[in-house]
Amino acid sequence: MNVDRITEKLNILADAAKYDVSCASSGSDRKNKDKGLGNASNGICHSYTEDGRCVSLLKILLTNHCIFDCAYCVSRKNNDIKRAAFTVQEVVDLTINFYRRNYIEGLFLSSGIFKNADYTMERLVHVAKKLRIEHNFNGYIHLKSIPGASEELMREAGLYADRLSVNLEMPTEAGLKLLAPDKNRQDMIDPMRFLNQEIIRNTEEKKLFKNAPMFAPAGQSTQVIVGATPESDQQVLQSANYFYKNFNLKRVYYSGYVPVLADKRLPALNTAVPMVRENRLYQADWLMRFYGFHVNEIVNNQNPLLDLDIDPKLSWAIRNMQAFPIDINKADLQLILRVPGIGLLSAQKIVAARKFARLGWEQLKKIGVATNRARYFITCKSNEFERRDLTGQNIKQFIMAQSQSKYIKNTQTQLNLF
């Protein structure tokens, strides 16, 4: 093995892959087969980057050579950068050796497009096949589907991979036209539809025949870049909602645009990464998927943008003060989930614990409720509760005043330390 050359390739091709934010390695139930290597079940973050993101997979490009010229992408054809390409065997060896040392849960393999879609996709599938068949590797494999690849190849990919993804890249078709003129939204939607049908068919088969082969057991996901084009949060979330509903996506990832290139169609190079916005989008996404919120409750024509100062649940609550206060000892789980400061687990604990005795503030705190937020919206076993007739705006100010002082304290300690 030429160590220097491999190291160089790894540096180039990991660096080029890092803007894909998807890192999940959960949702599969692949077991260790015949005393082979690995399993894919619970999705572990083995490390965290210095920006706090989970490192769970070996995430690399097979190559950063590309015939396309997407404006937001470092690997675009007209960008003057070092190019490299792994061989199939090199990717296999890296994956196996990292996995054996417990560095990773598996492989996330993507690629620039060399020659054409099928030629590229074939090589991605080859890596996965080699890992599964020759090495009896049962760890997690996420393959990026190259837009425009044939259905034959997509089907084969699904047999070896746990998850497949086609990145939408831009939340709307107009955005895509502007920044990725070579790409065609239909080329992304077609494979998503095809995969969705195959996954549904496979689920049916599995019900009938226990031994039916697995097909992409962790489903499909996609990524949209936010902040490169002027779409509103309403457009972003509605598009996400559309794909959740119609293609059974497991996840939509929101990637705050990192300015890497000077291009007059794009935000200037010194523009800050929209990290707060990205975070708010994820919070909104959770509300849609786990908290029973409809997308229109979170963003709508009156409120097309998420409030950057406060989280979307609090933001919904202060717009809907007529729904509160609710009695924690009586209300349905669905309503408790809507209270700012109460998460999924706390809500479940509340519903379990109140069967034994009615709950007061102390118990709620212990259960994990952020009472400094929740107190404006609930009553419990206590005579102390918010009696003032506060408007949503008042509450927002109170809560922000509290978290602001926390924020200032934290930045100060940070200054002292670094």
Partner 1 sequence: MNTLIYDGTFEGLLTAVFEIYERKLYPVKLLKGEWHTSALFEEVIPIVTDEARASRVLRGLRKKLSAAGVQRLYISHMAEIAGEDCNVLGFIRHVFDSDQNIEEDYGNKYVMRLSEILKMVRREKHRMEAFVRFQKLNDGTFYAAIEPDFNVLPLLIKHFKSRYADQKWMIYDITRAYGLYYDLHDTQFIEMDFAELNKPVNVIAAYSEDEGIYQNLWKNYFASVNIASRKNTRLHVRHIPKRYWRHLTEKI
5 binds partner 1 (CB under 8 A): no
Choose, by CB under 8 A, the member of 200, 276, 305, 357 that binds partner 1. 357
136 binds partner 1 (CB under 8 A): yes
Size of the site for ligand SF4 (CB under 6 A): 9
State the amino acid at position 148 in one-letter form: G
Among residues 372, 350, 346, the alpha carbon closest in space to that of 360 is found at 350
112 binds ligand SF4 (CB under 6 A): yes
CB–CB of 351/359 below 8 Å?
Answer: no
Choose, by CB under 6 A, the member of 57, 62, 113, 336 that binds ligand SF4. 113
313 binds, among ligand SF4, partner 1, none (CB under 5 to 8 A by kind): none
Q: How far is the CB of 102 from partner 1 (least distance, A)?
A: 5
Report the C-alpha gap between 278 and 304 in whole angstroms: 15
Question: How many residues in the chain?
Answer: 418
76 binds ligand SF4 (CB under 6 A): yes
75 binds ligand SF4 (CB under 6 A): yes
Choose, by CB under 8 A, the member of 98, 160, 376, 377 that binds partner 1. 98
Q: How far is the CB of 357 from partner 1 (least distance, A)?
A: 5
* Minimum CB distance to ligand SF4 smaller for 76 or for 280: 76
46 binds partner 1 (CB under 8 A): yes
CB–CB of 151/117 below 8 Å?
Answer: no
209 binds, among ligand SF4, partner 1, none (CB under 5 to 8 A by kind): none
176 binds ligand SF4 (CB under 6 A): no
Q: 217: cis peptide before it, omega within 30°?
A: no
102 binds partner 1 (CB under 8 A): yes
Contact residues toward partner 1 (CB under 8 A) are 1, 3, 6-7, 10-11, 14-15, 17-19, 31-32, 35-39, 44-55, 58-59, 94, 97-98, 100-103, 136, 258, 272-273, 275, 349, 352-357, 359, 363, 366-367, 410, 414, 418
